[in-house]
Structures are given as structure tokens and as C-alpha cells.
Amino acid sequence: MTARTPEQDEARRTAEEETAGSRQVRRRLTFGVAGDLADMPTVRSPWQRAYEAWRAAGLSWGHGAPPRDQGAAEAIPAPDEAAPAGAAASGAAGAEDAAPAKPAAGKAARTGRRAAKKAAAKAAAAQAAAASKEAAASKAAAAAQEAAAKDDVAKDDVAKGAAATGDVVTEGAAGERAEKAKKAAADEPAVEKAESPEIAAGEAAAEEDAAKEDASQGTAAEEGAATEAASKEGAAEETAPKAGKAAPKAGKAKPKAGKGAGKKAQPDPEDVLVAGPGLRTRESAPRAARRLRTRLAVAAGLVVIAGGVIFTVARGEGADEQSLPGPLAADALFAADPAAETDGLVQNLAAVTAAGGTVVAVGTEGDGVPGRERTRFLSSVDGGRTWSLARVRSGDGSAVPQGDAPRMVAAGKRGWVALGDAHGGGTVAWTSENARTWTRHDVGAVFKPSDDVRAVARTADGFAAVGGADGHAVVWISPDGGRWQRIEGIRGITGFDRVASSGSVLVTHGTYPREVTVKRGRRKITRTVPSHGVWRSEDGGRTWAQVSIPQAKGSYGATKGLTYGPGGFATVREGRHTSGRKGNRRTTRFGVLFTSPDGREWRVASRFRGYGIERFGGTPDGLAVVVHGTDDAYRILRTADGRSWKADGTVPRPVKSSGLTVAAGGAIAISGSRGDDAYLHGVDLRKVPGAVNPERSVRSLAAAPGRVVAAGSSNGAAAIWTAPDGQPWQRAELPSTAGSLSGVVHGGKGWLAVGATPGDAPKPLVMTSQDGSTWEKAEFPGGPAPVAAAAGPSGYVAAGTGAVWHSADLKEWKRADLDGAPAAVTASDGMYVAVGARGRAPAVWTSQDGVKWTAAELSDGLATGPLTGVAADGATIVAIGADGAPLVSVDAGKTWTVHALGGDLTATAITATPNGFVATASTSHRNAAVLTSGDGVTWRRLRVPGLSGDGERRLTALTAAGSSVLAAGVAADGQGEAALLWKAPLP
């Protein structure tokens, strides 16, 4: 017969329909069959072994007649079956075997086969009812075996559970938990008898199979044949008198099974589909292919929920490879500092605009490294009273990249548009219909890399952006913000930098070249200087004419800001008036507002008391200006009609404003930055969910018996997290110090962590601890900051640019100068090894005592860039770098050879283990990878789920901890960054 698994024949059941514990029993039995763990002869088919396992566990079969042994002519009898039920089953099976298969038999034969299958299903129900007493003993035996199995695997289960919660578990803790698991297993109640839903489901499945077989025959038959089949069905029921007790229950459940029989069976999330040779299917080829892909996905990984975190557990690459867990989302494990006053990241809001009661601010958040910024859109739909972080997506469904930076935003009739700098250079656009969800668009060659896009505004037909390229003004127009057209050839204008609109009329500010003549003694010198001007377009930006804004009412200098507000187009200038006689003159400073209903003719609308104009903007709902005030703050002035002005708050003096707008009701929104933090006037961004994220970075991991320590930074300050034996991760106690720790190690005198303070001239930052939980700052010589540390038989070593320090007791340090910049150091087999760079070339140094160091000779071409990590296993040393394949030495650093990891992998971290080496790497697709090697020469990539996907995955810290390996890193995309922690048994 063709083998099929129970899940394939069984109609799916919901959790409410299951008998308590039956799902778990079915899963164990399924795995047992798949892995030949049922302790049965291998000559039996998977179908027969599954049947025997289900029956031994006291579960009703519910899948038709009992399967036969391979090569046997008779069905294998069940030792605990009642005789009448077994006879009925054999009779039903025999009826099925003897049923004629020729089409000439007509509908009566087919109906007879249907009746026979129904009889077989009901006979199975009779079996279950009759065998309930005998099954109890089997269930008790199965429970005892299961308790023994749990005792064997309890330690492994404890370790896996600890990986799910981020705990570190030693063998002692695992044994203690195993004893608890064994006791719990002994007290676990026996699995209850499967009830009628299973029987009814099996009966419905038999009916459905018979119906499909009838449909495939396609032969008409007389109504009398159906009557004959009905009589046979009644006779079959009479052959199983004990099944009558189960019949009413089956009858009650039958409507449910019948209702679902005509629908596609829904997969049970707790079940695992097991496919084997000869898998039978009636599906069409495309549908079967889709089902196969689904089953392969299930075989590749299982979703597990542990500690509130969802992750994936892989099955491995084959029967000979151990299943490995995936990484955990570890933000909760590596907690930020709850008492910190800053988040530690660099944030900025570059622009803000409003349309009625909807306000949008755009900007970035990142760690200060160019190209790693994340896009930020904040929106308010109630005039700025409440704010939320908008969602950003890509138009093609791909991950939103890091490095994009929106610089300007505008609202139009058809929605919103923002423009900014793309992560790879050039320009990128975002559009939104509701300001809460934004779509990223690659705008293509319409925007060139040399373009300087400065402003964007709405038009009657869409949007217009202005700027310049190569000394000439350029305009871009778009109907929807996603598709753009370039307008060049605008003569006489160097570039545009502001724009405002009303319908199809655009008014822009820019610069143009102007010749001026000055006298130098008796000579006249003519030169070209940039001058400011204003231009107007009536055709959406295709043609332009210069307009004049006269100096009047004491105004002077260039205009500042440009918008469309009450009274039409508007801009402002500085103004002053001097009065009094000579020797007693007094100068009054103020601002002057100019407006124009059509952008052609301009006049003075009003003056306001304020000078030193920092920012001007507005909408038809009002105008506002930020001017100098006191030494501590700027003043905000607002007007609703362009004539009368009033004070409306202040802006702290450290703020650098970037945009100003007025929402419905006169609410003012001002964007900018305050130091490294974003600024939005009147808004505490820390209370806006997702708007402010704490900086968090794990740069180094180290382990000692009973404890693992992670070192790095959070909220812009040094941070250490520790995981005691079997306990969750927690923040260690240490003095609050700005900076970051980049290396941590454990030695004979305790723990050592090294790093640097922030700034252009970083200073050493060194901390020590006896227990890994409580830390204190340590005295350390001045000079360059150490970046890595190691502990060996001669004591501790710290390495930094141009120097290595040695200490035997973590109190006194002795410096040795090096010609180069070490980036990593390790100790093994009575020696120390440091790796780094000499200029841009790789460099290696070795030492027997940590005091005297010798530079290793590296052949030309071994590596193309600096080395960044090193690990040693006895005399075998492996050094990794970001620009080439690892270097390997098998003679304690005397000679070196290159051994690539394979593929497009670039190593990011490496550690030695009792079995050799484990390395993490990045791919060209910004995914992470884990590799293992016994000798450092030949590498094998492990199948670890969760290391690829949207955005970037990278593992950058690695250590061996007892029988496990731990790695830390991040998962990042254009929306955010999350810490990762990966723990697995040593490969």
C-alpha cells in the first residue's frame, strides 16, 4: 500500500474539539514515527508503525481499516481488540478488497465500496469503545515510558528553554530542572480516550474519499443499485453489535465532520506534517507544489514562543546535523538605563508643514554614523495636540533601507510628498494619502547625483520641487509625488532655494550672477557676485519671470522665508529706524512683512517688534516668525491676518530650528534639533511611542563558570549586562560614565572591561569587577584608549592604537609601544596574539608574557585590509578582517596562510571552542551567517533560522560558554534597530 501519515488522512480539529492532551500525544507519536523512535521493526511501513504507536497510546485510529505489514497478506491483529470488533474490521477490509473494480459493475459497485468504507470507519469506532479498558493499561505504560524519556532529555529541554529566555544554564542547574521535570512527568495524568470527533472525522474522511472515487469513475447507475448498497450498509452495521454504543456519539459529531468535509482541511498549528517516500496525493501539480513548499517551510523551522518572544527553531540541514535555534529579539534582555536623561542617539527633524489640522514633521534617527540613519515621519491629525510615529514602507515591498534622510515635505490636493537624500546618493521621494503611512519611491534618473533639491510645494496639478545643478536652476514637477519630470534650461538663474504656491502660480527665491564695479584707487574693478532675487511662474514652473520686492518702511537686506498665508504670498525682512540728533541717536530694530495676492506686486503689510529673524513660515491659517529674545530663548510671534502680531511662546536658545508652520486654529509647530536630540515645539517626544529609542549596543561577550557578561553601551553611556547561572540577563551596577565599552574578559583576578569616552579625543575607560555583577572604574595610564582585552597565564592584556598594556593584578599597568593599531587580542597555549593594522595593511603581534611583543611577518597579498578579530586554539590562530579571507597559523603565529570562509561571506566575529572555532559573518545581502571549523582551515556553514530577511542582520560579538556558544548583534532596517541574542549548543 502507499504510505500516508495520520495528519494527511485526518480531518483537522480545532483546540476546542481536542481531548485533553491528545494533540501533544499525536505530535510525539508523529515525531517518533519520523525518527524511527517507536521501537518497532523497520520492515513495517511508516503507516503501520504510526497505527501501532497510536493504538499503544490509547488513541483511536479513526483512519479506516488497520494498515497491513509490508509483504503481509493479512491485517496485523491488535492484541487488545475485542473479537467482534476485530471481525467487523476484517470483514470490512475484506469487502473493500473484494469489491470489483470494473466500471461495468455500475453505481451499485461504487456505492458498495462507499458502504464498505463507512462500515470500516464505524468498526474502528467499535474498536475504540471495546478496547477502552485494555487501553488504560497501555496508557499507563506509555506514561511511564514518557516520564523516562523526559528524564533523559530534561537537561536538553532546560537548555533550550534558557535560550528562549536569554538565561544561562550550567550543567548543575540543568540537572536540577531535569529532576523537577521528571517528577512532573510522573504526576502527569494518563491521556484520556479520544472521543467522538475523531471517529466522526475518520468516518467523514472515508465518505469523502469514496465520493471522490465515485466522481472519478463518472459512470451513471440506476436508483435500485443505491437501494442495494443501503441494505449492505445496514448489514455491515449489524456485524459490529458493540459499536452501537459509540454510534450515537459519532452521530452527534457527524454533522460537524460532514460540514467540513466539502472544504479544504485547515492545518493544525500544533501538528507537524511528516512526508515520506511514496507520498500519495490527488492534488493537481501546481497545488501540490504549493503544498510541498509549505511542508518544506515547516520542516525548516518551527515557531516557538518562549519568554514572550517568538523565534524559529531550525530542523537542521539533514539527519546528521543538529537542530539549531534562531536568535532572540533581545531588547528586553539587554535593558536600557531607566534613569538615563538622554537616549544616546542622534536625532533631527529637518522640516515640518501643516494642512488644516494635519501636521507632519520629517527627519532621521541614528548613531551618528553617516549612511546608517533611519527615516522618521511624525504626524498629528488634531492640530499638533497628539503625535504618532508614521509607518514607512517601500513601493516594491522590499525593506526600507538605512541612510535615507527626508529634508522637505509638502501637502497637496492628492496627498503628501517628501523629498530627501537617498542612502546610496541622489534623491528619494515618499508619498502618503493620510500622513500616517508613507511609501518610499526610487525616482530614477530624473534626479541626478549632482542635483541640489532645496524646496517642494503643491501646485494645481500636483507638486513642484526647486533647486539647482552644476550652477543652473532646475525645477521638477510631478502629478502624484512618485513620478517626476525635470525642467532645465532656466537661463540667468544659478539656483532656487525656496518656493511657495497658489494654484498654478509659483513664487521662488534664488540667486543669480550680477556684475558689480568697484574702485580700487584709480582703477575700476568689475567682478561677478551672487545676488538674491524672486521669480514667478504661471505655468507650474516651466517658465519664470523676475519680480521685485521693494525696500520700504525701514527694511533692508535679503528676504527671509517664503510662504502662502492670509493675504497671499508672504516674506519678511529685517528693519530698523534711527532717530534723534547727533550724539543722541537711537536705533529701533524690527521686522517687516511683505505680501502679494498674486506674487507679482508686493507691498508692506505690517511691522512686528522683533529682530534677528531665525525662522518664518505659515499657511492660510496664519503666519509666524521666530526672533531673538533673551539670552536663554527666542521669541515666537504670530499673526492671523498679517496685520496684528502677538507673542506666542518661546523656543530655547540651544535649539536650531529647521521649519515652522501654522495649523488650523493657529497652533504653531516648529521643528529642529537640540544637541543630539530632535526638537518639536511644545512636544515631549519621549512620550510619543516609537519616536525616541534608546541607544543600545553589545560589543563584547565573555564567559566564566556560572556567569556570562556582555559589555557595550546604552543611552550613550557605558553599560554591562550579566547573566548569572540559570538566571535572566540584568544590568550590572557600575558608575554612570559617558562612553562605550568594547572589550570584556575574565581572568584569575576577576573581570576586566575596556573602552573609551566619547568625543574627538577619546580617553581610556576601564572597569573591573570581582563577581561580574558590581563594577568600579579602575586607574589606567593616560594615552590612547584600549579597544580590546585578553587574559592569559601571565595576566591581563589591553590593546589600543600604538600600545599594549599588561597587568598581573588589574591594579598596576605597564605599557609597551607597538608600530600599528591593534583591534583585537587573545591568549592561548601560553602566549598572547594581537591583530590589527599598520596603516591599511594587516598586522599581527605575538608575545610570550604580554610585555615584550614581536611583529609577525606577513607575506604580501595575504590580506587586503586591517584585521578586526582573533581567536586561538592551542597553536592554531585564526585572524579575521573586513576586507579579506581569514588568516590561519598552525604554528603559534610563525607562518600564515589564507583560508576563505566560502561564498560571499565576510567574518564579523570569531571565538575558540573545545571543538575548534565558531565564526559569524555577513553576506552581500546584509544577512548574517554562522560557521564552524575544527581546524580553522575548513569551514562549514550552519543552518540557523532568523538570520536573513528584510533589512540587515549582523552578529558582532561571540563567545563560548560551557557547552554553548553565544552571539550578540542587531537586526536593523530603515524603521528601527533591535538587539539580537543567539545561543546554541556547541557545534
Please give the grid coordinates belonging to residue 161. Answer: 528553554
Residue 440 confidence (pLDDT) above 80: yes
Question: Angle between the 22-34 and 46-56 helix axes, to the nearest 10 degrees?
Answer: 140
CA-to-CA separations, 130 to 113, 137, 233, in angstroms, rounded? 25, 14, 21
Query: Phi, psi (5° rounding) for residue 647?
Result: -70, 145
Q: At 468, which amino acid appears?
A: G
Mean pLDDT computed over 735-755:
96
Residue 976 is predicted with a pLDDT of 81
Residue 633 is predicted with a pLDDT of 94
Q: Whole-number mean pLDDT of the chain?
A: 77
- Are 136 and 58 contacting, i.e. CB atoms less than 8 angstroms apart? yes
For the chain, what are the domain ranges? 325-344+694-817, 346-442+656-693, 444-547, 549-653, 900-986
Residue 55 is predicted with a pLDDT of 62
pLDDT digits (tens, 9 = 90+) for 158-197: 344 444 444 444 334 444 444 444 444 444 443 333 333 3
Residue 759 confidence (pLDDT) above 90: no
pLDDT digits (tens, 9 = 90+) for 892-939: 998 999 998 988 899 999 999 999 999 999 998 889 999 999 999 999
- Are 667 and 638 contacting, i.e. CB atoms less than 8 angstroms apart? no
Residue 184 is predicted with a pLDDT of 45
Q: At 540, which amino acid appears?
A: G
Residue 72 is predicted with a pLDDT of 37
Q: How confident is the model at residue 281 (pLDDT cuts 50, 70, 90)?
A: very low
Share of the chain residues as helix, strand and coil, in percent rounded to the nearest 5: 20, 40, 40
Residue 347 confidence (pLDDT) above 90: yes
Q: How confident is the model at residue 746 (pLDDT cuts 50, 70, 90)?
A: very high
Q: What CATH fold (topology level) applies to the domain 325-344+694-817?
A: Neuraminidase (2.120.10)
Residue 598's Cβ-count burial label (10 Å; 0-12, 13-18, 19+) is middle
Mean pLDDT computed over 270-280:
28
CA-to-CA separations, 438 to 376, 389, 484, 534, 670, in angstroms, rounded? 10, 11, 17, 32, 21
Contacts of 413 (CB under 8 A, 6+ apart): 458, 460
pLDDT digits (tens, 9 = 90+) for 388-412: 999 999 988 777 888 999 999 999 8
Residue 766 is predicted with a pLDDT of 97
Strand duo 876-881 + 887-889: pairing = antiparallel
How is residue 212 annotated by DSSP? Answer: H
pTM of the model: 0.65
pLDDT digits (tens, 9 = 90+) for 774-821: 999 999 999 999 999 999 989 999 999 999 999 999 999 999 999 999
Residue 54 is predicted with a pLDDT of 59
Other CB atoms closer than 10 Å to residue 809's CB: what's the count?
A: 11
Residue 105 is predicted with a pLDDT of 41
Residue 438 confidence (pLDDT) above 50: yes
pLDDT digits (tens, 9 = 90+) for 6-41: 333 333 444 334 444 455 555 555 444 444 433 444
Residue 396 is predicted with a pLDDT of 84
- Are 618 and 661 contacting, i.e. CB atoms less than 8 angstroms apart? yes
Helix (H) or strand (E) holding 832: strand 831-838
Which residue, 946, 908, 974, is CA-closest to 164? 946
Residue 832 is predicted with a pLDDT of 96
Q: How confident is the model at residue 5 (pLDDT cuts 50, 70, 90)?
A: very low
Quick one: CA torsion of 61, 66, 68, 73, rounded to 10 degrees?
170
Residue 902 is predicted with a pLDDT of 84
Residue 342 is predicted with a pLDDT of 87
Q: How far apart are CA 315 and CA 306, in angstroms?
A: 18
User: What percent of the chain lies above the pLDDT cut of 90?
Assistant: 55
Residue 66 is predicted with a pLDDT of 64
Please give the grid coordinates belonging to residue 516. Answer: 558689480
Q: How confident is the model at residue 223 (pLDDT cuts 50, 70, 90)?
A: very low
Q: How confident is the model at residue 612 (pLDDT cuts 50, 70, 90)?
A: very high
Residue 106 confidence (pLDDT) above 60: no
Please give the grid coordinates belonging to residue 429. Answer: 521621494
Residue 879 confidence (pLDDT) above 80: yes
Residue 95's Cβ-count burial label (10 Å; 0-12, 13-18, 19+) is buried
Order across the sheet with 472-478: list the strands.
Answer: 452-459, 462-469, 472-478, 485-490
Residue 839's Cβ-count burial label (10 Å; 0-12, 13-18, 19+) is exposed
Residue 756 is predicted with a pLDDT of 96
Mean pLDDT computed over 554-570:
96
Helix (H) or strand (E) holding 356: none
Contacts of 399 (CB under 8 A, 6+ apart): 949, 950, 951, 973, 974
Residue 330 confidence (pLDDT) above 80: yes
Mean pLDDT computed over 954-975:
92
Q: How far apart are CA 223 and CA 211, in angstroms?
A: 17
Q: How far apart are CA 857 and CA 451, in angstroms?
A: 48
Q: How many CA atoms lie within 13 Å of 624's alpha carbon, on the beta-carbon side?
A: 28
User: What percent of the chain lies above the pLDDT cut of 70?
Assistant: 67
